[in-house]
Amino acid sequence: MPELGIRLALGASPPQVFWLLLQQTMIRVLAGIMGGLLGEWWLARWLESLLFGVRPHDPATFAVVASVLVLASLAAVLAPCRRAMKIAPTTALRWE
């Protein structure tokens, strides 16, 4: 919270803070999705014995799962981002 207060006190607008928080979150989410895709690609032969009716490298399944994860992450981060935009800089600086 103090970082947000400092940014707001130095002249950042609330939408800039919102986009900063959203960008930082989505970079981590996309890195996690990429790591998961690489891990699945590496474990595909073992997973093939567990899957029925789906190929281990099915692009449609990858796209659907990645989309659901991105949407869930967006939904989880929007409320804290909107709340951070409404914080007064002095309140955020005193946070501790």
The domain tally of the chain equals 1
Domain that holds residue 43: 2-94
Q: What is the pTM of this model?
A: 0.72
| Pairwise pLDDT comparison (81 vs 71), residue with the higher score | 71
For 9-38, the pLDDT digits (tens) are: 788 888 888 888 889 989 999 999 999 988
Q: Are 94 and 46 in contact (CB under 8 A)?
A: no
- Alpha carbons 23 and 25: distance in angstroms, whole number: 5
Length of the chain: 96
